[in-house]
Amino acid sequence: MAADIGAAEGNQRYRSGVIPYKKMGYWDPDYEPRGTDVIALFRVTPQKGVDPEEAAAAVAGESSTATWTVVWTDRLTACEVYRAKAYRVDQVPNTEDQYFTYIAYDLDLFEPGSIANLTASIIGNVFGFKAIRALRLEDMRIPVAYLKTFQGPATGIVVERERLDKFGRPLLGATTKPKLGLSGRNYGRVVYEALKGGLDFVKDDENINSQPFMHWRDRFLFCMEAVNKASAATGEVKGHYLNVTAGTMDHMIERAEFAKDLGSIIVMIDLVVGYTAIQTMAKWARDNDMILHLHRAGNSTYSRQKNHGMNFRVICKWMRMAGVDHLHAGTVVGKLEGDPHMTAGFYDVLRESYVPQNLEHGIFFDQEWASLNKVMPVASGGIHAGQMHQLLHYLGEDVVMQFGGGTIGHPMGIQAGATANRVALEAMVLARNEGRDIMAEGPDILKQAAKGCKPLQSALDTWKDVTFNYESTDTADFVPVETPSM
Amino acid sequence: MRITQGTFSFLPDLTDEQIKKQVKYCIDRGWAVNIEYTDDPHPRNTYWEMWDLPMFDLKDPAGVMLEINACREACPNHYIRVSGFDATRGWETVRLSFIVNRPPHEPGFRLERTEVKGRHIRYGVQPYATDKPEGER
């Protein structure tokens, strides 16, 4: 077998100097991945003239045990086991120089329960490697044996709903606007109006931490006054995601503890705090009965372009393992990047117990989630009440829909904006459950609901058919093709 | 005031015809329909009184409607809610829950603020409806 693929053996393999990665044993087309292997799928763009299999072997090598030259100290280890194996290379459909490369890693290459350790290998040095022009991590298959070393979402969709006593419909939220500049007192006003009007949550934006115009304690105190007052006014559990993102881990914990002392049910952090900080906060959240919201600030710097970086679906997987309860995952119809098929894939990764391979949705592997809690996806950015039928159709009911501008920008005020969204939502869920075709009848259902709700009528008039129809950059490589009938 | 717990509280009170369709939706998904009532609408009052057991084996929405109406007759001044319980693995929880009866007058809640230290306030929400002892409401 070894002779067929050109891997060197014995003293040939360990003679000092430089030999191709393929010959070092990082390419093995006959390798059958084991159930306990971590599998990564990369999109590799080799430098001109570099053989795709050699490029694949190089990626396997650099993301596991290899260095640029032969080292005899490999022979002090069970090196065949520790070497990652590139075992399959497929040309990407409709491209000339890109290759989907499947690489299997033995479980013992990774520290249990550490996203930092997993990522240091998989997206570490290898992304700067000269022999490849561009590299993108498209998907991963995480074995159950490894998943079971992670806590998973602190609360999960099921328990979050039970704590909130809210079932059968998407949750509603909004981000306080303007995102920067409000004083604590004025900020709390927006929170109170939106919650009293009918939203379940209001949210700090990703970059509201502790600035000269509003220090964090001031924000927390005024927001909790708003949350409790709105709860008393409606008889519902309400929440505000208090952003505890800070410069050091100690400060984050200090802020989270204060939020807990004030009776908040939820805190939030930004993706930019890093994987270890996220896992630390997830453990804190589990220990303190807190829901943990994650804003995906920063992800588009590496997830948006197709040939380099990583796909957002991998972030979804890592974040479910790391243990967050909420993650922004796209709206399909809003202002931010999001192809409907790709977005469906992200939502499946976050919410399902088992996700089968689905190339149209960008899902390359069957993934068993081994009873890790479900993450609530968050749809936020440029959405409004007039799109309610599309939102419910594409995103389902286990999602937080966040209407920031669509609430606060309402011509009749913030409470009215919130009421418009809530009425539109409940009317649409009612109609869907009655078996009506909401994609076809949606605008009509909204029009009927607006007859008894002036704020909804006003929202529909204001935003009419506002959509953001730009082409997505991150789209599926596989599209269904009709087979001609014979 | 009008408490807005439940899936459809922002809509006008559902008609029996509308309720029946939602019940059918639950039954079609294999969920057990459950009827509960209370006179304590506190947002964290999880355990409303059960009007008998969840109807695991009842497959006819009309049968559920009979139970809802019997409950309404017995408890006209209570909140009554209908929920659908999904026993599927990974869920094992309520999937839909909506109010089908309200007391004629909903007095709402008192927000109690206790100053603790500094600017820290401890909040409590108290339903006016539970000011009297349980047997005397």
Mean pLDDT score, A197-203:
98
pLDDT at A485 over 70: no
What is residue B118's predicted lDDT score, i.e. its pLDDT?
Answer: 85
**Interval A231-256 mean pLDDT:** 98
- pLDDT of B135 reads 77
Flag if A167 and B96 touch (Cβ within 8 Å). yes
Q: Tell me if B131 is assigned to some domain.
A: no
Nearest-by-Cβ selection for B11 from A234, A263, A427: A427
* Percent over 90 (pLDDT), chain A: 84
* DSSP secondary structure string for all residues of A259-302: HHHTT-SEEEEEGGG-HHHHHHHHHHHHHTT-EEEEE-TTTHHH
| Residue B8 included in any domain | no
Residue B115 lies in a domain: no
- Residue B55 included in any domain: yes
Query: DSSP letters of B51-63?
Result: SSS-BTT---HHH
Q: Who among A198, A237, A452 is closest to B43 (CB)?
A: A237
Cα separation, A422 vs A459, whole angstroms: 12
3-state secondary structure of A15: coil
Q: Output A331 or A38, whichever has higher pLDDT.
A: A38
- pLDDT tens-place string over residues A402-456: 999 889 999 999 999 999 999 999 999 999 999 999 999 999 999 999 999 999 9
- B10 located within any domain: no
Nearest Cα of chain A lies from the Cα of B39 at a distance, in angstroms, of 13
CATH code for position B89:
3.30.190.10
Note the pLDDT tens digit of each residue in B44-102: 999 999 999 999 999 999 999 999 999 999 999 999 999 999 999 999 999 999 999 99
> Residues 6 or more apart from B24 whose CB is under 8 A from it?
B61
pLDDT digits (tens, 9 = 90+) for A151-178: 999 999 999 999 999 999 999 999 999 9
Here the tokens at position A288 are 């303190």
Provide the pLDDT for residue A13: 87
Residue A205 has pLDDT above 90, yes or no: yes
Does the structure show a pLDDT above 70 at A480? no
pLDDT of residue A339: 84
Q: Which amino acid type is present at position A292?
A: L
Q: What is the structure's pLDDT at A107?
A: 98
Our answer to whether residue A215 is catalytic in this structure is: no
Q: Phi and psi (nearest 5°) for B3?
A: -70, 145
Is A177 in the active site? yes
Average pLDDT, stretch A297-318? 94
Asked if pLDDT for residue A231 goes beyond 70, the answer is yes
Please indicate, yes or no, if residue B102 is contained in any of the structural domains. yes
Q: What is the C-alpha separation between A138 and A41, in angstroms, rounded? A: 6
The confidence band for B136, taking pLDDT boundaries of 50, 70 and 90, is confident
- What mean pLDDT, rounded, does chain A reach? 93
Q: What is the pLDDT of residues A93-148, one digit of tens each?
A: 999 999 999 999 999 999 999 999 999 999 998 898 888 999 999 999 999 999 99
Looking at the complex, report in whole angstroms how far the Cα of residue A190 sits from the nearest Cα belonging to chain B.
Answer: 19
- Structure confidence at residue A6 (pLDDT): 67
**Mean pLDDT, residues A357-377:** 97
Looking at residue B133, its pLDDT comes to 86
Confidence of residue A3 (pLDDT cuts 50, 70, 90): very low
Assigned domain for B72 exists: yes
| Domain residue limits at B55 | 16-107
Name the pLDDT band for A469 (thresholds 50, 70, 90).
low
SS3 sequence, A381-436?
Answer: CCCCHHHHHHHHHHHCCCCEEECCHHHHCCCCCHHHHHHHHHHHHHHHHHHHHCCC
Interface list for chain A against chain B, based on CB atoms closer than 8 Å: 158, 161-162, 165, 167-169, 198, 221, 224-225, 228-229, 231-237, 261-263, 353, 371, 374, 419, 422-423, 426-427, 429-430, 433-435, 449, 452
Is A234 close to B3, i.e. CB distance below 8 A? Answer: yes
- Residues in B touching A165 (Cβ below 8 Å): 5, 43-44, 46, 97
A203, A238, A295, A374: which one is catalytic? A295
Q: What are phi and psi of A309, to 5 degrees?
A: 110, -135
Residue A199 to residue A416: CA distance in whole angstroms? 11
Do the domain assignments include residue B61?
yes
Beta strands of A307-411 (E only): which ranges? 309-310, 326-328, 354-355, 367-368, 376-380, 400-402
Q: Region A11-21: what's the mean pLDDT?
A: 86
Q: What predicted TM-score, i.e. pTM, was given to this entire model?
A: 0.95
Q: Which residues of A touch B25 (CB under 8 A)?
A: 433-435
Token pair, residue A171, equals 């949750």
Per-residue confidence (pLDDT) for residue A486, from 0 to 100: 46
Lowest mean pLDDT of A52-66, A333-347, B53-67, name the range.
Answer: A333-347
CB A152 within 8 A of CB A323: yes
pLDDT of residue A164: 98
Any idea what DSSP says for residue A148? Answer: T
How many residues comprise chain B? 137
Cβ–Cβ of A158/B21 closer than 8 Å?
Answer: no
| Chain A with chain B: Cβ pairs closer than 8 A | 108
CA distance B71 to chain A (A): 22
Residue A484 clears pLDDT 60, i.e. is over it: no
The 10s digit of each residue's pLDDT in B11-35 is: 999 999 999 999 999 999 999 999 9
Has residue A5 got a pLDDT over 60? no
Q: What are phi and psi of A94, to 5 degrees?
A: 65, 25
If you compute the radius of gyration of chain B from its CA atoms, what whole number of angstroms results?
Answer: 17
**Total count of domains within chain B:** 1
**Residue B17 φ/ψ, nearest 5 degrees:** -65, -45
